[in-house]
Amino acid sequence: MRKAEARKTELVEAGIWLCARSGLDSISYEAVARRVGVTRQLVLHHFPQRDAFLAAMFERVRGEVQESAVRAMEFLHTPEERVSAYYRSGLEFVWAKEDFARTWIQFIATCSTRLEFRKIHSEFLAKGTERLQGLLEAGERLGQFPKASALERKRLAQMIQVHLAGNCVFLTSQVHPKDFDRAAFIEHAVQELRRRLVGRV
């Protein structure tokens, strides 16, 4: 069983590698098999349908993103620190794991036409929004953030995720000048988030 799961993970990671370089259309059983060095039949054995394989890829990326955020917030105490860490972890994730980030961005673009993928993405956003709303409410109780209604907190949490997604897309684009300082960009984005949280601007 462990060997089978390890093989499935290897196949999924090969799909992520291919997607990051050539897009979703490059994902075929033959291409994945060549990347891993196995037969097409073996890929079919683990993933009889291509959509199931793509969903497994996206679930893997989603899991990595979520685990990264949880690890970033684990040893922090104040809501302000945890919200900032959540935001920073997303930006640092796309820097550290560009293959995963590019695949995730392509997945988001696909959600507009594929209902089954939209469901995966909606669940991911709902969890992130819920987590952020809880942190915003806790920050209000401690006087770190201005008071807001439940609806305002939800909208702010959604805004944070929209801004995060936009910055992630920017970081994974290939149009940066050679002297582009990603670390400085991430730090500026996090500080801008903090100003928005405190000032609600």
Each residue's pLDDT expressed in tens, for the chain with a length of 201 residues: 578 888 999 999 999 999 988 888 888 999 999 999 999 999 999 999 988 898 899 889 888 888 898 899 988 989 999 999 999 999 998 888 888 888 888 887 777 677 777 777 788 788 889 989 999 999 999 998 988 899 999 999 999 988 988 888 888 876 778 888 989 999 999 999 988 887 754
Overall CATH class of domain 57-199: mainly alpha
CATH topology of domain 1-48: Arc Repressor Mutant, subunit A (1.10.10)
List the Cα angle 43/46/51 in 5-degree steps.
85
| Residues 37/43/46/49 CA torsion (nearest 10 deg) | 160
Domain ranges of the chain: 1-48, 57-199
Q: Which pair of tokens denotes residue 201? A: 């601007």
Q: Which pair of tokens denotes residue 104? A: 């995730």
Residue 175's SS3 state is: coil
